[in-house]
Amino acid sequence: MVVTLIAFQVVKLALRLLIATLKYVSNLRENVMLTLFNFIMWMPCGRAYLRKEQKKCQDDFWNRVKSKRQNTVEKLPAKGMPEDEIMKRIKQGS
């Protein structure tokens, strides 16, 4: 009886190990690609390339936003506008 319980536990653990191994192997391509990407991004040339691509995407985004919206303010002015002028601009729709 005890030997049967031990054998059952061993088979159960072996099946769990097999299932975990199959899951890992089924995602092996993704795991390898992710590891390569992380390694390349760890290298200085990879980080520089990523920064360049991020800058290009940000510039493209802002160019699209600016083309759709005129009179945008990118930096806050040193001195704010008075409340009545703000309300006048809001009513004008600009």
Q: What per-residue confidence (pLDDT) applies to 54?
A: 95
Lowest-confidence region among 23-27, 56-60, 86-90:
23-27
Domain parsing of the chain, residue ranges = 2-66
Q: Could you tell me how far CA 60 lies from the centroid of its own chain?
A: 18
C-alpha torsion angle, residues 31, 34, 36, 37 (rounded to 10): 180
pLDDT > 60? residue 94: no
Tens digits of per-residue pLDDT, 5-34?
Answer: 888 888 999 999 999 888 878 888 888 888
Q: What per-residue confidence (pLDDT) applies to 67?
A: 83
